[in-house]
Amino acid sequence: MANADKPVLLVGSVPCQTAEETFRTVAPILGDLAIGLSDGEIDARRYWVMYISLNTWSKHPDLEVVRPVLEYAPRGLGLPEWLPAGYHALPWWAPKAGVTKLSSIKTLGYPAEAAASYRTFRRLRDEGLIPRDARFQQCLPFPDDAVRLFTNTARSMSMMVDGYIDVMKRDVASLCEAIPHEDLVLQWDINWETIAIEHGDHLPDMPPMQFNPDGHPLERFARYVGELNASIPAPVRVGLHLCYGDFHHKHFLDPTDLAASVTMANKAVEVSTRPIDYIHLAVPRHRSDDTYFEPLRDLRIGDATVYAGLVHYTDGVAGSLKRLATLKRHFSGSIGVATECGLGHRQKDQDLVTLLKIHRDVAAEI
């Protein structure tokens, strides 16, 4: 068993209001342990791909609304007024009549936001709050995630995916120009691809899986890995966050075991033209059984680190260590720990600092 050089992954979002607040909260506890420090995914990015809905699909001249938001999130909870109530209520777009290819999208907006947050990161690092060897982490949604929720036909999805891949390649290049390669972690957030590969690509009664996209989901996933990783410079660290959704802290569908994630990790390493530095795997709170972890015997990811999303606030260090003990029985490579998903949507009675300290204490026992 190998303790990763940086044994903690902070998946992405953090419930803070600014990048500076995020760094000042996280760095004193985990700055020397985390593979990267994100800016917390503040403002609209806290709501993940809704950021793309607002900034890109709603403004694209070649798209038209085929279904508006059906229902908004309840008022009085501190949520944005534009936030839909759930997957069932999301807006849908489709290419306008006669459009066979979307016109080029200038940017999704991530590079400008990252550059601003990186300036804060660098200043706090120069001041000594952030360790000298810490990296800045930028998380980016995979194509199915950015598109599938916001359309309703295979043709529309394919055209929007092509447009998304095109702009994401340029955005990644811009990120790698704005942030020194030795300072950067790029994480691909992969949710609906994971669910489709495990549970099926077409679940008629479960939006957003209510239509059947083109191609096999594993083939789409392989395409995305191959194309999006191709031009990322080697010094940049690249990871895959394999997710099952986290709406109101509940998976869209629970993983049966780690078999689908192992299949995806192996395929990603096979098709990527550059090294994948880490794979993040979800571990539900109730799964400390051997059956869940047994598929790890088939994992073939070379020297990449497995960050197991086994840290849960609700059973703390003791419960997390129980899951860690089972992981150790089934995997002998480089490991680290994480939560299952980002930290941004915690229950009000879940203290962020306590959760960060759970990460620290569990990592000490690897």
Residue 208: cis peptide before it, omega within 30 degrees of 0: yes
| pLDDT given at position 323 | 98
Sheet strand arrangement including 278-282 = 2-8, 334-337, 305-309, 278-282, 237-242, 184-190, 136-141
Q: Note the pTM of the prediction, 2 decimals.
A: 0.96
Number of domains composing the chain: 1
pLDDT in tens, 312-325: 999 999 999 999 99
* pLDDT for the residue 77: 78
Residue 251's pLDDT is what?
65
The residue type found at 39 is D
Q: What CATH code is carried by the domain that includes residue 223?
A: 3.20.20.210
Rounded distance, CA 158 to CA 82, Å?
A: 26
Query: pLDDT below 50 — which residues of the chain?
Result: 1
Its domain, for residue 233, covers: 2-363
CA 184/CA 187 separation, integer angstroms: 10
* Res 1: pLDDT: 40
Report how far residue 39's alpha carbon sits from residue 121's, in angstroms, rounded to the nearest whole number: 8
